[in-house]
């Protein structure tokens, strides 16, 4: 029946080009297309039910007869402007029968919400289920051949090629770059605000900082995001693309509107604009590498090219472009969020701030940190881990093969979404103070040893965990150490920070703070850190700056809490 409908549709379309009875045939074509769609959905549903094993998952109410869970989510996210992960916490709190495994009916797909640590272990580590097709919406800014979404054989080859650029040995050598860029931030952005008492949107500045850092260590390019003239064209193209994509992702019931011709053309135009910047850099680097016979810059891209050459492998232009787009996106966005939330929490806790200042002064003695210093900043490391626990930047999604069960529930062919936010705040795993920022918990060896292996997973778990987690931790510690070596910060937002959704999670208010010289508050540091001018300069000239950054739109959410 479905096949006949499609064949009829093709005949109607062929007849329409003759412009004879266009209206009549348009109606017939629409009806035929609708019949084909409905028939395929019925057949697909019947096929799934025939292969289903295990009991059905609980579903939150109310459930619309046609749109399933979409009206419920749209009301919660739209009316209260909450992050979807906070909505999930609210649903579990309000209906205890849902437990930590339930399903959202989203018309085209069933999405299983996995908030149970043992179930996460089965999904990510025991079976290592494939990445979900829902990542396709990220292709515009991570590429279609990204290591984030590649199938297992392709992923293994890509991971082998890029592992050298994320090794501890290479990243140790990049700590001076982290320090130089942070000192530039202090001098150009924070020092003027400390002098005039103005407010800094810390997350905006941290985003420019981390983008500058990843561009430097991945491509040996200095884009000058922190320069007085503002960020370069690459940043504005990137920001526009993410903002547009996030608008659709925040309203799944309107996702279809992106395929309207005018929206589609605009979206593709933004993607092409961003791709042109990245591809131009890679083409130039490939040409330089060929001409210099592998003696070019030893950055993440250069090490990957050298590894492939040594192994007799080859990454095509699309693969290289996809990986670099992924690293530019994930390598700056999530780290900026971690740094921002860490400052927010430390600013609200004077006792924690005092411990951070004492350790920074004791370990660094007034100089910029090196790789050995980062290992000695143990309390600061606890602060970073606690920031990642309370404010994880993203979750992960997998898909199960037909006939699969999870803890006795049928999950065959269903998308599984693992939201880290509710897991990281679950009192069953973290105790009664699960929602409290307490870095000291990470100093308790018995407490940490007793944690479930999937109770803490800001970088996911299993073989496909984040390739950049060591980079993120080393970069965050370097930045925070230098931020607190010179200044302290006071949160001046009118309401507590909360997660907002913008593809990944980020601080809703962008962490507005005032900047204070430590001497002014009686917290005088030891001698000033090494000036930025003493750190080696970038190997390439800065890209001309473009327009100044602007805050991205954010969802409003109440201060998150667990039951």
DSSP string computed for 381-399: HHHHHHHHHHS-S--EEEE
98 contacts 58 by C-beta, under 8 angstroms = yes
Helix (H) or strand (E) segment spanning residue 409: strand 409-410
54 contacts 409 by C-beta, under 8 angstroms = yes
560 DSSP assignment:
P
Q: Is 466 annotated as a binding residue?
A: yes
Give strand ranges (E) for 42-170: 101-106, 109-114, 130-131
Terminal Cα distance for the chain, rounded: 50
What backbone torsions phi and psi does residue 68 show, to the nearest 5 degrees? 65, -125
Cα 349 from chain centre: 27
Strands 415-418 and 109-114: parallel
For 226, counting Cβ atoms within 10 Å of its Cβ (0-12 exposed, 13-18 middle, 19+ buried), the class is buried
Q: How many CB atoms lie within 10 A of CB 19?
A: 8
Whether omega before 62 lies within 30 degrees of 0, making that bond cis, reads yes
DSSP string computed for 429-474: HH-TTTTS--GGGGG-HHHHHHS-TTT--TT--STTS-TTHHHHHH
> Distance between CA atoms of 286 and 275, rounded to whole angstroms?
16
For 327, counting Cβ atoms within 10 Å of its Cβ (0-12 exposed, 13-18 middle, 19+ buried), the class is buried
- Which residues does the annotation place in the binding site for heme? 466
């Amino acid at each position: 029946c479905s096949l006949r409908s499609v064949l009829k549709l093709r005949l109607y379309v062929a007849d329409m080009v003759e412009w004879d009875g266009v209206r009549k045939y348009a109606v017939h074509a629409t009806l035929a297309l609708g019949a084909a769609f409905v028939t395929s959905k019925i057949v697909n549903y019947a096929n799934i039910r025939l292969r289903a094993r295990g009991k059905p998952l609980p579903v939150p109410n109310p459930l619309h007869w046609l749109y399933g869970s979409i009206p419920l989510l749209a009301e919660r996210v739209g009316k209260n402007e909450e992050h979807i992960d906070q909505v999930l916490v609210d649903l579990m709190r309000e209906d205890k029968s849902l437990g930590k495994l339930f399903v959202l009916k989203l018309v085209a797909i069933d999405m299983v919400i996995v908030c149970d640590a043992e179930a996460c272990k089965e999904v990510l580590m025991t079976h290592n289920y494939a990445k979900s097709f829902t990542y396709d919406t990220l292709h515009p800014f991570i590429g279609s051949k990204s290591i984030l979404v590649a199938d297992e054989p392709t992923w293994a080859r890509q991971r082998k090629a890029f592992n050298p650029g994320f090794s501890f040995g290479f990243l140790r050598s990049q700590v001076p770059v982290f320090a130089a860029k942070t000192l530039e931030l202090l001098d150009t952005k924070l020092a003027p605000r400390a002098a005039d008492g103005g407010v800094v949107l810390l997350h905006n500045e941290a985003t420019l900082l981390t983008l500058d850092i990843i561009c430097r260590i991945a491509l040996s390019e200095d884009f000058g995001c922190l320069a007085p003239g503002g960020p370069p064209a690459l940043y504005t193209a990137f920001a526009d693309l993410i903002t547009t994509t996030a608008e659709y992702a925040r309203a799944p019931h309107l996702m279809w509107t992106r395929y309207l011709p005018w929206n589609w053309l605009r979206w593709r135009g933004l993607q092409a604009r961003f791709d042109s910047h990245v591809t131009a850099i890679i083409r130039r680097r490939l040409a330089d590498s060929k001409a210099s016979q592998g003696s070019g810059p030893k950055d993440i891209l250069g090490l990957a090219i050298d590894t492939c050459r040594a192994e007799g492998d080859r990454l095509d232009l699309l693969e290289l472009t996809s990986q670099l787009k992924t690293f530019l996106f994930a390598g700056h966005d999530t780290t900026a969020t971690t740094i921002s939330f860490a400052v927010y929490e430390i600013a609200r806790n004077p006792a924690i701030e005092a411990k951070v200042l004492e350790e920074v002064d004791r370990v660094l003695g007034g100089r910029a940190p090196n790789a050995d210093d980062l290992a000695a900043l143990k309390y600061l490391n606890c602060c970073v881990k606690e920031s990642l626990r309370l404010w994880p930047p993203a979750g992960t999604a997998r898909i199960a093969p037909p006939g699969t069960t999870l803890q006795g529930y049928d999950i065959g062919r269903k998308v599984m979404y693992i939201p880290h936010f509710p897991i990281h705040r679950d009192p069953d795993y973290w105790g009664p103070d699960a929602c409290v920022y307490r870095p000291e918990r990470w100093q308790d060896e018995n407490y940490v040893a007793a944690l479930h292996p999937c109770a803490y997973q800001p970088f996911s778990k299993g073989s496909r965990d984040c390739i950049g987690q060591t980079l993120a931790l080393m970069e965050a510690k370097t930045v925070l150490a230098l931020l607190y070596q010179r200044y302290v910060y006071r949160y001046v937002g009118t309401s507590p920070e909360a997660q907002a959704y913008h593809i990944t999670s980020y601080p809703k208010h962008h962490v507005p703070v005032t900047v204070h010289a430590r001497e002014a508050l009686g917290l005088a540091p030891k001698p000033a850190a090494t000036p930025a001018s003493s750190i080696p300069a970038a190997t390439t000239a800065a890209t001309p700056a473009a327009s100044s950054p602007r805050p991205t739109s954010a969802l409003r959410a109440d201060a998150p809490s667990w039951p």
